[in-house]
Amino acid sequence: MSKLPIVLPAIRIRQGNQFIFAFGIDGKRVHEFAAVSRVHRTDQTLAGYQRPEVLSHIRAIRRYLESDAALLPNAIVLAFDDRVEFKALDAGASAAAYSTVGHLVIPVDPELADDEKPAWLVDGQQRSAAIRDADVDEFPVAAVGFIARDEAEQRSQFILVNNTKPLPKGLIHELLPTTSAELPAAYARRRLPATVLNFLNFGAGGGEGPFTGRISTPTMANGFIRDNSVLKMIENSLYEGALYQYRDPEDGTGDIPSILMHLNYFWGAVERVFPSAWRLPPTKSRLTHGAGIQSLGYVMDSLTEGVPAAELPGLGIEEILVDLREHCAWTEGTWDFGLDQTRRWNGIQNTPNDVRLLTSHLLRAVRGHEASVATRR
């Protein structure tokens, strides 16, 4: 394979103080200079940003490409680094012009590893893989590229490009903490909770804790607690509960060490009081189920709201949870919600109604404990 650069006619389009480049290229050549950076972790650090290839989808695209009159009108999107150059044909073109005609010069070196290539696929992973494998001599495609400052900007663009597509939520949640651009409100709201979740799951920031390795994410395949359940618990608490005291409402940032200390203390007590139920997957334990995680999150808020993390050991949380045992049916038996309303232990589902029902039940038991303690005093 040649080391000669690929030189392509292109149009440079100005968007604010940035540029994008529109051009055509033989899809067979894209992988010579562009890598697919699949999401993974290295030493607790998130690397990459692409979803794993969906082989069945790629095979279907490949069969279509090998048919007569195949057409792929959608452009692939590439993030370049600063080794890629644009050379305008008209050197005197106005800087205020919306578009400029020229050539895009992309270096090619077959000896480079994927993570050293000058471009990354932000969108079009499966199409480009299908073209690469298709039994055709060439297949030109439309492409749009931009020069990214760093990988955080690439990840931000990946989320924005895929915002209207069925992108796995778990992948977005892992990427959010390492993005830098302004995001849609729903994603911006979850950036801090997602950051906290990653620290909890990977034992960073505050050492290992009760959630370490237990939350299921694209890079923690052995986890069994759904990431969305933990995210909802953290998000509810940050905006309306005990963790609110650590959040800056102005910019959405937070005191992450204090948040982690608070969560690890409370959920560490949960793990100690209910050790067997905490080790089981949601199919065998409603404690690690979405309803259990969210409901106990509200219990945490009720018991610890306004109390700094450093003062939690003086609250007697573990004693309260011990008294809560007789009201719980995490792995067997039945839930007694009063008024002749009972459920089998696994009859609780991760629905808003059942989360409210379980939360009310647990909070009544907690208040009963507090009333009993007050009477004894």
Q: Residue 325 corresponds to which tokens in the numbers above? A: 């045992």
Alpha-carbon distances, residue 108 vs 133, 140, 371 (angstroms):
20, 18, 73
Collapsing DSSP to helix, strand or coil, 122 comes out as strand
What's the pLDDT score for residue 97?
A: 77
pLDDT digits (tens, 9 = 90+) for 2-55: 688 999 999 999 988 888 999 999 999 999 999 875 555 555 555 554 455 567
> Apex CA 159: angle with CA 157 and CA 165, to 5°?
125
Query: How far is it, in rounded angstroms, from Cα 274 to Cα 161?
Result: 43
Per-residue pLDDT at 214 exceeds 90: yes
Residue 247 CB neighbours (<10 A): 18
Over the stretch 88-123, which tens digit does the pLDDT of each residue have?
A: 988 766 666 789 999 999 999 988 888 788 988 888
Structure tokens belonging to residue 38: 């699949």
How do the domains of the chain map onto residue ranges? 6-168, 184-376
pLDDT at 320: 95
Summary mean pLDDT of the chain: 85
pLDDT tens-digit series, residues 167-207: 566 666 776 776 766 666 677 778 899 899 989 998 765 56
Closest CA to 306 of 254, 226, 240, 211: 240
Q: What is the DSSP string of 216-284?
A: EBTTBTT--EEHHHHHHHHHHHHHHSGGGGGB-TTTS-B-HHHHHHHHHHHHHHHHHHSHHHHHS-TTT
The per-residue pLDDT for 95 is 61
